[in-house]
Amino acid sequence: MTTNTATLDALRVTMIEKVQKMGWAKRPEVERVLRDTSRHEFVPEAPLEKAYDPYNAVITHRFSDGSSLSCASAPFVVAMMLDQLQVSPGSRVLEIGAGTGYNASLLAELTGPTGRLTTIDIDPDVTAQASHALHAAGYDDVRVVTGDGAAGVPENAPYDRLIATVSPWDIPNAWWDQLAPGARVVAPLRWRGQARSVAFTYTDGRLVADSIELCGFVYLVGEGEGETSAPITNDQTITVHWDRDQAVNPDALRGVFDQPRVTAWSGVTIAGDEPHDGVWLRLTVTDRRVCRINAPGGTPPEVCDPVEACRAPALVDGDSMAYLASRRRETDDGARWELGAYGHGPAATKLTERLCNEVRAWSVERDQRKPNLTVYRAGTPDTDLSGTIIDKTNSRFVLNYDIIGCLPSDELIGEAVKRKHEVGIVAEDASIENPSNDQEL
């Protein structure tokens, strides 16, 4: 491809400026490799503007059913995860998910000539494409392996850094076995229906997180079933996703949307561009019933109207459910969106109140405080753990807050009331409304 150098330089500069405005490429070495590496060479089918669009993920390979199997992650996500990984020159790095080879090229630049980089993917077409692109760009020292990423690459272990660019539900045993003491691991892990890019340090036989960021990735193939999903409407369109250790019975939820809607509003408002995913993250610590509801675009709002159509936190209790919702409010500062809950079924009132209480508790400090996450190997006794335990196949996730964050919800809600003007809570008290009085977004 013949391209004007000045045009490419301008596109890369603009990409990096936007990525940094989002808070990523904070590490100078990450900014450097993003600036010096040609992303368009790894996604030749994409127009230049799309190749350097900081928010754009380019799908490069699909399953036979049309769902994506491989893609080049959006540059801001690439920068975020490389910031989290903290690669040093000379590092031994394993990448799970070869993709286009672009991320491997960045990792190769970060590790330098004294480092050792291995990337693995289960699909031979993906590894062939990545190998070709890496060779064409001059990265012949990158080891590209076709195989099950859950098994790692033991012959090149131990690794100082492990990064997954596909989303695992668990930490496979092979990854544990292939880490060097003090290694850093970055993986877009899934629990309770959400996905988070989590950065860990491997110390004393456990993985201790120091960074948890919202993300979304293609799932790790070959891992086995950990997350379960099922439709709960007769037309099969609205689905619930939950972990296998949760007591969710989709048959009990069939017809739940035929029950009258109960509505509760929290009094907490957010700006249109303000994140609210911290509510979901908090719920994974405070309520074992939290899972995910998907209502595709085009679902009539009077049937199901979650805060985000394809991914919203929900509480399920037997034949009842409540999910996070929002409505537009006009304030002195302009339009804002109030967070609340819609519920259906016999326990709807309690579930919607519970969701609103958690929203209020979250609003005290919004996303300034996130829970601690430590991952232990399966078999670690309960007596060695403190917090909310989520059992996976090969590991045990333990989530908790520090002493301040561990305040009971009632105390946090009281604090939120005292600080309502600081955190943007509207003047009205939260209320349970009759379904006929629902306000549309």
Residues with catalytic roles: 70
For the chain, the residue count is 441
| CB-based burial, 205-220: b 16+ in 10 Å, e otherwise | ebbebebbbbbbbbbb
* Closest to 162 in 3D by CA, of 140, 139, 187: 187
Pull the structure tokens for residue 172.
């496979």
- Residue 159, SS3 per DSSP: strand
Reduced DSSP (H G I as helix, E B as strand, rest coil) percent helix, strand, coil of the chain, to 5: 30, 30, 40
* d(C-alpha 256, C-alpha 271), whole Å: 31
* d(C-alpha 165, C-alpha 120), whole Å: 10
CA distances from 42 to 37, 50, 220 (A): 10, 12, 21
Burial of 148 (0-12, 13-18, 19+ CB in 10 A): middle
* d(C-alpha 225, C-alpha 214), whole Å: 22
Strand order across the beta sheet in which 239-243 lies? 227-231, 239-243, 290-294, 312-317, 320-331, 334-344, 262-270, 432-433
Q: Please, what's the largest Cα pairwise distance for the chain? A: 67
In the chain, count of helices (H) and strands (E)?
12, 20
